[in-house]
């Protein structure tokens, strides 16, 4: 995946400035900035000088020195004017973020350095928009509203995380880390997409909203696919082959959704999608094949696996308008008494100290609360899932609906298997008959050899038996291998037949087949009590966040510069104390909230102890419920495969049956010819080799010759003397099978229908 083509990035246009009575050279350089690093530096310097100017001259809204400031609004192009120097600062900040986004999107990110630079630019853009959102009013113009700025922040953080993801894949980081980084990209883009789907935001953005929304939605599915791809790789490393299949399948599904949403996108997007499809498709096919043929691990449902939590490794880089290294010398240093400026800085430090003290307490309590909740593993949304058991899940309803319009599903499957069984039996009978004929012919040939001795082949010998025997052996081997597939196919049919009947029946029966929890009234009371306390925990969190936000806003808006100018230096400390008292009430509320945490967690601990038995029972039922649903869905999905393999089996055996029938005819003809040949040999008066030559008589005397002639009687040539004690062989007893010499009894036939694998790859052999 490190070589995947890069996705395009979203960047923002810069606002155009109108008239503002300020240093002409400084203003011009800030308005017409070059689109490079130097332009970013110029904007930061100008922002710092505006901050210095604001701290010395009353140019804010409604103040004496305020002057009209005009900038164009990005989306409508209208000129917007405010008499407030903060408006000038806000527009410069917006342009700073927009310029960083433009520079980040310009780089092709084909090198490691390019990825780093783009990532830094997007983080700087997010920092500028964050500072603008948190420190300036949102009513200046539409493009600087709270909704638009939040959208920009999430877009920039998502694109920065995307650059980091590309760098991680280039560095071949661990699969689990890459998956978490990719999941965080999805989270950022989901936040941006929620903002884009908001009707108010859509109306503010205008035409550009549709283009952004389409690209962001496509990226959500694309990077979700990348996350699940790497989760599948991790499962492969851990040898969890069932999980590997479901993760790769989920990645493939999400990538297909991304492809659907990518219509109209530039060619770079299409190339990236095609490249990723090649990777994920290859991984899924290989994993599924390995699991089906080698590992045979159960493939769990995706929702039963732990979700991938994002790892946010990027952040909005903060903007400091008063950083001397960025702003350069203060050109307004002599305009305002330094005493007032120093006093304001001291008061700001007092406010910052107060905020740090409060935040330290909040963060300590939040850390304890987070650790406690993580250890309890209690999710308020899933603690009570009893309503799930009252309905048939949608995925099962789809299968039931599909079978309701196909009432002959089970019957068709059974009939198909019966036809296959019949063809199988016919083939087996034909092959058995051929084998019997060959064995009988072989036995007859042995008897002939015993009677006449080894009979050499003659021009009249019958040909073809060897070829028939060889071809019969090949067909028997094919038949034996295919019978294993039949057995598996039959077993698979028996496994799924009951489930298919259930899915095709009434919905009440399907619902009754799904496990349901059985809770007593005491168990229900324990469950309700736990839910109530979890709600209290969430209420405590929300209240704490609200109080913290109020405190931050109060500190941000607290400006006593006017009072400091008119206050004597000796009274400064007293003034600080009086001004800081305004935060006491919020501090009291926060202290009460933090103190209540211990009691809430103690009550939650007690409730969780009582909930343990109920939790175990619910977990077991949920596991059984999920297993049952998966089994029923698997049976439905196996139907088409069973029908397909059954048809393949019928085609295979039909072909084999034709070949076996032809071979049987050839075997019969060959055996008949062989038998006729043997008969001819037996009936021939001279035997197969002609009359034997009489042995040469040694020379003898006349008396010996007379004695030899006297001994040459017909009885002297009788075979009885040489076969004494043995049965005399003639045509009749040769053709009759002798005891103990019968053909080998056929092997008992195995069950012809059985298993899905191996697939029908043996035909046409």
Would you state the pLDDT for residue 303?
86
The tens digit of pLDDT for each residue in 280-291 reads 999 999 999 998
As a whole number of angstroms, the distance between CA 134 and CA 155 comes to 17
Q: Domain segments of the chain: what residues? A: 1-172, 175-313
Residue 708 CA: distances (Å) to CA of 43, 691, 717 = 142, 21, 14
Instruction: Please answer whether residues 205 and 75 qualify as being in contact, where contact means their C-beta atoms are separated by less than 8 angstroms.
Output: yes
* Confidence band, pLDDT 50/70/90 cuts, at residue 447: confident
Q: Give the whole-angstrom CA distance, residue 132 versus residue 15.
A: 14
Angle between helices 267-290 and 241-261 (to 10 degrees): 160
Q: Do residues 593 and 365 make contact, with C-beta atoms less than 8 angstroms apart?
A: no
693 CB contacts (<8 Å, ≥6 apart)?
none
The residues, any chain, with a CB within 8 Å of residue 689's CB and separated by 6 or more, are 456
Mean pLDDT of 402-416: 71
Instruction: Identify the sign of the CA torsion 295, 296, 300, 301.
Output: positive
Over the range 15-36, which residues count as b (16 or more CB within 10 Å of their CB) and which as e? bbbeebebeeeebebbbebeee
Q: Above 90 in pLDDT, residue 671?
A: no
**Whole-number pLDDT of residue 169:** 92
Span 687-703, mean pLDDT? Answer: 43
What pLDDT is stored for residue 1 in this prediction? 67
What angle, rounded to 10 degrees, do the helices at 394-404 and 465-503 form? Answer: 120
- pLDDT value, residue 335: 62
pLDDT given for residue 216 in this prediction:
94
- Segment holding 263, helix H or strand E: none
Q: What are the CA-CA distances from residue 76 to residues 38, 80, 133, 240, 422 (Å)?
A: 28, 11, 20, 55, 78
Contacts of residue 332, Cβ cutoff 8 Å, sequence gap at least 6: 49, 52, 53, 56, 57
C-alpha span between 491 and 48 (Å, rounded): 79
Structure tokens at 717: 């040539």
The pLDDT value given to residue 474: 83
Place of tokens 């040999």: 681
Mean pLDDT of 169-195: 93
Query: Residue 629's closest CA among 404, 402, 409, 395?
Result: 395
**Helices 338-376 and 584-683, packing angle to 10 deg:** 40
Q: Which fold has domain 175-313?
A: 1.25.40
List phi, psi (to 5°) of 79: -85, 130
pLDDT of 690 higher than 60: no
Residue 693 pLDDT exceeds 50: no
| Percentage of the chain modeled with pLDDT above 90 | 28
At 291-322, the pLDDT tens digits run 889 988 898 988 888 888 999 999 999 998 87
Task: Write the CB contacts of 626 (distance below 8 Å, at least 6 apart in sequence).
Answer: 301, 304
Q: What are the residues whose beta carbons fall under 8 Å from the beta carbon of 551, sequence distance 6 or more?
A: 355, 358, 583, 586, 587, 590
Per cent of the chain over pLDDT 70 is 81
What is the pLDDT, as a whole number, of residue 128? 95
Mean pLDDT of 742-751: 40
Q: What are the DSSP calls for 448-495, one per residue?
A: HHHHHS-----TTPPP-HHHHHHHHHHHHHHHHHHHHHHHHHHHHHHH
CA-wise closest residue to 254 among 226, 275, 279: 226
Residues 321, 475: Cα–Cα separation, whole Å: 88
Closest CA to 350 of 633, 575, 548: 575
List, for residues 550-600, the tens digit of each pLDDT value. 999 998 888 776 566 545 677 788 888 888 888 899 999 999 999 999 999
Q: Which residues contact 326 (CB under 8 A, 6 or more apart)?
A: 41, 44, 45, 48, 320
For the stretch 605-620, pLDDT in tens is 888 888 877 778 777 8
| Region of poorest pLDDT, from 527-541, 638-652, 702-716 | 702-716
Strand partners, 754: 487
Other residues' Cβ atoms within 10 Å of the Cβ of residue 115:
22
What is the sign of the dihedral through the CA atoms of 693, 699, 702 and 708?
A: negative
Q: Cα Rg for the chain, rounded, in angstroms? A: 46
Q: Is 687 left (phi over 0), alpha (psi -120 to 50) or beta?
A: left
8-42 pLDDT per residue, tens: 999 999 988 876 655 556 677 777 888 888 889 88
Query: Is the pLDDT at 205 greater than 70, yes or no?
Result: yes
Which pLDDT belongs to residue 278? 93
Does residue 223 carry a pLDDT above 90? Answer: yes
Max avg pLDDT among 27-31, 141-145, 648-652, 714-718: 141-145
Q: Is 206 left (phi over 0), alpha (psi -120 to 50) or beta?
A: left
In contact, 742 and 748? CB cutoff 8 Å: no
CATH superfamily of 1-172: alix/aip1 like domains (1.25.40.280)
Q: Which of 28-32, 444-448, 566-570, 750-754 has the lowest mean pLDDT?
A: 750-754
How does DSSP classify residue 295? I
Beta bridge partners of 69: 82
pLDDT tens for 386-397 read 666 777 878 778
Whole-number Å distance between alpha carbons of 538 and 408: 53
Query: What's the DSSP call for residue 293?
Result: I
Cβ contact 272:258 at 8 Å: no
Residues 482 and 763: their CA atoms lie apart, in Å, by 9
> What pLDDT, on a 0 to 100 scale, did the predictor assign at position 200?
82
Higher pLDDT pick, 483 / 724:
483
Average pLDDT, the chain: 79
Taken in order 712, 717, 718, 721, the sign of the CA dihedral is: positive
- The backbone region for 690, taken as left when phi is positive above 0, alpha when psi lies in -120 to 50, beta otherwise, is left
Contact 223, 164 (CB under 8 A): no
Please name which of 214, 752, 191, 256 lies closest in space to residue 482, comparing C-alpha atoms: 752
- State in Å, rounded, how far the first CA of the chain is from the last one: 41
Q: How confident is the model at residue 732 (pLDDT cuts 50, 70, 90)?
A: very low
Q: Write down the pLDDT at residue 21.
A: 57
Nearest partner of 231 among 251, 255, 252, judged by Cα: 251
Side-chain half-sphere CA neighbours of 530 within 13 A: 25
Distances (CA, A) of 460 to 158, 621, 672, 676, 678: 90, 80, 13, 10, 10
Please classify residue 563 by burial: count the beta carbons closer than 10 Å to its beta carbon, then call 0-12 exposed, 13-18 middle and 19+ buried: middle
> What pLDDT shows up at residue 673?
83
In the block, residue with structure tokens 């113009």 = 141
Does residue 727 or residue 465 have the better pLDDT? 465
DSSP state of 79: E
pLDDT of the residue at 106:
92
Please give the distance of CA 382 from its chain centroid, rounded to a whole number: 23
- Find tokens 């399907």 and name the residue: 510
Fold match, 1-172 / 175-313: yes
pLDDT at residue 713 greater than cutoff 60: no
């Amino acid at each position: 995946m490190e070589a995947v083509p890069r996705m395009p990035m979203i960047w923002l246009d810069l606002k155009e400035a109108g008239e503002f009575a300020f240093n002409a050279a400084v203003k011009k350089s800030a308005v017409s900035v070059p689109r490079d690093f130097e332009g970013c530096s110029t904007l930061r310097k100008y922002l710092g000088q505006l901050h210095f100017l604001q701290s010395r001259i009353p140019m804010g809204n409604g103040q004496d020195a305020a002057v009209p400031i005009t900038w164009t609004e990005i989306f409508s192009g209208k000129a917007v004017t405010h008499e407030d120097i903060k408006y000038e600062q806000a527009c410069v900040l917006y342009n700073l973020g927009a310029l960083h986004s433009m520079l980040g999107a310009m780089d092709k990110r084909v090198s490691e350095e390019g990825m780093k630079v783009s990532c830094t630019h997007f983080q700087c853009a997010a920092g500028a928009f964050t500072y603008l959102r948190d420190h300036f009013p949102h009513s200046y113009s539409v493009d600087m509203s709270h909704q638009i700025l939040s959208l920009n922040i999430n877009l920039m953080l998502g694109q920065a995380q995307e650059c980091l993801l590309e760098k991680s894949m280039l560095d071949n980081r661990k699969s689990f880390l890459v998956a978490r980084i990719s999941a965080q990209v999805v989270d950022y883009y989901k936040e941006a997409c929620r903002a884009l789907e908001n009707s108010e935001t859509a109306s503010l953005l205008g035409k550009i909203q549709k283009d952004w929304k389409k690209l962001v939605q496509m990226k959500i599915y694309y990077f979700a696919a990348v996350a699940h791809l790497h989760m599948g790789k991790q499962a492969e490393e851990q040898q969890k082959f069932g999980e590997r299949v479901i993760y790769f399948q989920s990645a493939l599904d999400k990538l297909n959704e991304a492809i659907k949403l990518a219509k109209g996108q530039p060619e770079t997007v299409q190339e990236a999608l095609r490249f990723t499809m090649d990777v994920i498709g290859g991984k899924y096919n290989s994993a599924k094949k390995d699991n089906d043929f080698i590992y045979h691990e159960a493939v769990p449902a995706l929702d039963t696996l732990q979700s991938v939590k994002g790892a946010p490794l990027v952040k909005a880089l903060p903007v400091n308008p008063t950083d001397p290294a960025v702003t350069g010398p203060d050109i307004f240093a002599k305009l305002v008494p330094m005493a007032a400026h120093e006093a304001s800085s001291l008061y700001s430090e007092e406010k910052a100290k107060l905020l740090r003290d409060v935040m330290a307490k909040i963060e300590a309590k939040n850390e304890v609360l987070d650790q406690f909740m993580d250890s309890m593993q209690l999710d308020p949304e899933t603690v009570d899932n009893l309503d799930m058991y009252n309905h048939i899940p949608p995925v099962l309803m789809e299968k039931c609906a599909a079978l309701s319009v196909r009432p002959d599903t089970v019957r068709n499957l059974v009939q198909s298997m019966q036809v296959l069984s019949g063809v199988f039996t016919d083939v087996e009978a034909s092959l058995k008959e051929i084998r019997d004929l060959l064995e009988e012919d072989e036995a007859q040939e042995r008897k002939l050899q015993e009677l006449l001795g080894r009979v050499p082949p003659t021009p009249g010998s019958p040909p073809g038996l060897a070829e028939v025997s060889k071809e019969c052996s090949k067909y028997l081997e094919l038949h034996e291998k295919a019978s294993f597939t039949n057995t598996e196919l039959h077993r698979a049919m028996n496994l799924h037949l009951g489930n298919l009947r259930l899915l095709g029946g009434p919905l009440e029966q399907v619902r009754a087949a799904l496990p349901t929890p059985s809770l007593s009234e005491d168990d229900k009371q324990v469950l309700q009590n736990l839910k109530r306390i979890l709600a209290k925990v969430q209420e405590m969190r929300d209240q704490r966040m609200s109080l913290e936000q109020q405190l931050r806003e109060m500190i941000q808006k607290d400006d006593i510069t006017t009072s400091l100018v008119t206050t004597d230096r000796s009274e400064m400390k007293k003034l600080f104390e009086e001004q800081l008292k305004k935060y006491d009430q919020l501090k009291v509320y926060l202290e009460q909230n933090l103190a209540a945490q211990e009691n809430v967690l103690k009550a939650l601990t007690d409730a969780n102890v009582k909930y343990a038995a109920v939790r175990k029972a619910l977990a077991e039922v949920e596991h059984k419920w999920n297993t049952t649903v998966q089994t029923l869905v698997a049976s439905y999905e196996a139907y088409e495969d069973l029908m397909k393999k059954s048809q393949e089996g019928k085609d295979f055996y039909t072909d084999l049956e034709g070949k076996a029938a032809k071979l049987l005819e050839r075997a019969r003809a060959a055996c008949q010819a062989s038998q006729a040949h043997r008969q001819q040999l037996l009936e021939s008066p001279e035997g197969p080799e002609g009359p034997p030559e009489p042995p040469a008589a040694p020379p003898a005397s006349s008396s010996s010759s007379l004695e030899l002639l006297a001994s040459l009687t017909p009885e002297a040539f009788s075979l009885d003397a040489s076969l004494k004690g043995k049965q005399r062989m003639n045509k009749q007893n040769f053709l009759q099978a002798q005891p103990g010499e019968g053909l080998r009894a056929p092997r008992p036939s195995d069950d012809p229908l059985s298993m899905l694998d191996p697939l029908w790859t043996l035909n046409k052999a």
